[in-house]
């Protein structure tokens, strides 16, 4: 009997539209944003640690540590100043009339199955589904779900993500689809077009969300398609290291202020 | 069963699974052990059947909270946790290799079922889903039995005196 009731509850969760069930996930991310961020920062710093062979004295170490603390404090103050001046700061050359909403990353799930972020901005901050998200001045994804205070970002590497792009100076547009594994694919491009590794890939403008093309990634690999040798099989890697982003920026076109 | 301890434990493990476990992720596929799966097997073989059913569904719910969609893990963890609890009434899973095997099989089957259930919710289905499920289950099965002892200590469960009712 117990089993039946729980199974029923599970089926209700499964069949309820994701828009509603997302509220549980967003609530968890919001309530535990602090420990989740700490856990993420620890794992990131652990991954970034390089084996060091050089050793400095304790005195030198303390001196450098103090300098770092001072610089960090200075940086913090500058960041606050920038946030205060967001009206000016948030207007980029290519995005006239748009506002860039800075958001912290609460959790990042980046693997072959899911590539998404949960950020600490939501409907209350003017976010809606489909808005473009930037990381280190390049496009990293789009808003896929929003709650009042949090939002989910579907990364460009997510297998369900499809974005219209152009490669380098080519005048043809193609769809770029996420590949999982921190990369995306551009297919159906004839080999008569010259494409090489390292070419910049731009997301095309999208009325209401993006007014000018912006960098989205770089061509990491370019080879003939196995199934159709007259086409390219292009692998694109994001223009920034998404996994290590601590904050992102959401483009809010025509903000209502 | 100490339910408050259980709730706190699951909460901590869920937060750790969502963030900190990435430290020990391996390969470019970002394979990491599933701590909630390990706990699922732990409670299924150390509690009585009705407790195992409740814990299985609760752990599945926690896995859904940090997953991509709600419902799929709750059903798959609940189903296989319950089956494991019933199986444990017939075959005692005491030795570490058997516990490892139980984690691996449960993880793989629960992962496959969750994958199919996720199709209802239009979730992404990459080509290497089964590879990821396989390696995650294997990694969990290697780490899992070593986490049973601290889990038993926290839950005040005496592992050598478990019942089979």
Tens-digit pLDDT profile for residues A181-237: 788 888 888 888 888 888 889 888 888 888 778 888 889 888 888 888 888 889 999
For chain A, percent of residues with pLDDT exceeding 70: 83
Cα A254 to Cα A98, A127, A205, distances in angstroms: 6, 12, 15
Residue B14, pLDDT > 80, answer yes
Residue A92, pLDDT > 80, answer no
A21 at interface of B, judged by CB pairs closer than 8 A: yes
Cβ contact, residue pair A114, B124, below 8 Å: yes
Q: Which bin fits A254, alpha (ψ -120 to 50), beta or left (φ > 0)?
A: left
Is ipTM strictly over 0.90? no
Q: What is the mean pLDDT of residues B42-50?
A: 90
For chain A, percent of residues with pLDDT exceeding 90: 9
pLDDT of residue A68: 78
For residues A76, A81, A83 and A84, what is the CA-based torsion angle, rounded to 10 degrees? 150
Tokens of B19: 């963030």
| Nearest-CA distance A149 → chain B (Å) | 17
The answer to whether the predicted template modeling score (pTM) of the entire model surpasses 0.80 is no
pLDDT of residue B139: 93
| Nearest-CA distance B19 → chain A (Å) | 5
Find all residues with CB under 8 Å of A111, minimum gap 6, and list them. A180, B29, B30, B132
pLDDT of residue B13: 93
- CB contacts of A182 in chain B (<8 Å) are 28
Count of H-run helices and E-run strands, chain B: 6, 0
| Nearest-CA distance B41 → chain A (Å) | 17
For residues A38 and B23, give the distance between their C-alpha atoms in angstroms, rounded to a whole number. 13
Tokens of A149: 């205070």
pLDDT tens, residue by residue, A24-63: 888 888 888 888 888 877 877 776 655 555 677 766 776 6
Cβ contact, residue pair A7, B68, below 8 Å: no
A145 at interface of B, judged by CB pairs closer than 8 A: no
- For residue A197, what is the DSSP state? T
CA A22 to the chain's CA centroid: 19
Which H/E stretch holds residue B78? helix B72-90
pLDDT tens, residue by residue, A157-189: 888 888 999 888 888 888 898 887 788 888 888
Residue A118, pLDDT > 80, answer yes
Strand residue runs (E) in chain A: 98-110, 115-119, 132-135, 138-146, 151-155, 162-167, 173-178, 184-190, 200-203, 214-224, 231-238, 247-253
Residue B164, pLDDT > 90, answer no
Q: Which of A44-48, A92-96, B147-151 has the highest mean pLDDT?
A: B147-151
Count of beta carbons in the 10 Å neighbourhood of residue B27: 11
A24, A38, A110: residue with CB nearest B30: A110
Residue A254, pLDDT > 90, answer no
pLDDT tens, residue by residue, B48-70: 899 999 999 999 999 999 888 88
B16, B20, B72, best to mutate vs chain A, most A CBs in 10 Å: B20
Cβ contact, residue pair A14, B132, below 8 Å: no
Cβ contact, residue pair A181, B69, below 8 Å: no
| Nearest-CA distance B122 → chain A (Å) | 9
Q: For all residues of chain B together, what is the average pLDDT?
A: 87
Tokens of B91: 């075959």
pLDDT of residue B165: 47
pLDDT of residue A112: 67
Cβ atoms of residues B39 and B155 within 8 Å:
no
């Amino acid at each position: 009997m117990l089993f039946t009731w729980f199974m029923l509850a599970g089926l209700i969760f499964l069949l309820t539209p994701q828009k509603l069930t997302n509220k549980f996930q967003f609530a968890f991310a919001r309530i535990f944003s602090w420990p989740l961020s700490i856990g993420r920062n620890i794992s990131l710093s652990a991954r970034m640690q390089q084996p060091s062979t050089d050793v400095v004295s304790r005195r030198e170490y303390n001196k450098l540590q103090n300098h770092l603390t001072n610089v960090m404090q200075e940086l913090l103050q500058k960041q606050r100043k920038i946030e205060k001046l967001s009206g000016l700061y948030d207007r980029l050359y290519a995005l006239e009339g748009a506002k860039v909403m800075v958001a912290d990353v609460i959790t990042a799930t980046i693997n072959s199955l899911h590539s998404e972020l949960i950020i600490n901005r939501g409907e209350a901050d003017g976010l809606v589904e489909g808005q473009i998200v930037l990381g280190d001045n390049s496009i990293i994804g789009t808003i896929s779900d929003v709650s009042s205070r949090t939002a989910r970002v579907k990364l460009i590497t997510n297998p369900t993500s499809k974005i219209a792009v152009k490669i380098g100076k080519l005048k043809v547009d193609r769809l770029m689809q996420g590949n999982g594994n921190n990369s995306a694919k551009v297919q159906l491009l004839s080999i008569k077009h010259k494409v090489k590794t390292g070419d910049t890939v731009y997301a095309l403008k999208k009325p209401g969300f993006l007014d000018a093309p912006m960098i989205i990634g770089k061509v990491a690999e370019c080879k003939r398609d196995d199934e159709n040798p007259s086409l390219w099989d292009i692998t694109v890697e994001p223009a920034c290291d998404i996994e290590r982003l601590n904050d992102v920026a959401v483009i809010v076109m025509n903000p209502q202020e | 069963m100490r339910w408050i301890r259980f709730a706190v434990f699951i909460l901590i493990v869920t937060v750790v699974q969502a963030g900190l476990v990435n430290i020990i992720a391996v390969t470019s596929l970002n394979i990491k052990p599933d701590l909630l799966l390990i706990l699922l097997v732990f409670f299924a073989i150390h509690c009585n059947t009705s407790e195992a059913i409740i814990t299985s569904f609760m752990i599945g719910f926690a896995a859904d909270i940090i997953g991509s969609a709600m419902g799929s893990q709750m059903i798959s963890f609940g189903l296989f946790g319950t089956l494991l609890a019933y199986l444990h009434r017939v075959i005692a899973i005491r030795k570490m290799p058997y516990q490892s095997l139980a984690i691996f099989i449960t993880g793989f089957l629960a992962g496959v079922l969750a994958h199919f259930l996720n199709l209802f919710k239009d979730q992404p289905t990459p080509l290497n889903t089964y590879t990821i499920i396989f390696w995650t289950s294997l990694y969990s099965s290697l780490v899992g039995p070593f986490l049973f002892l601290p889990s038993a200590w926290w839950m005040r469960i005496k592992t050598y005196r478990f019942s089979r009712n």
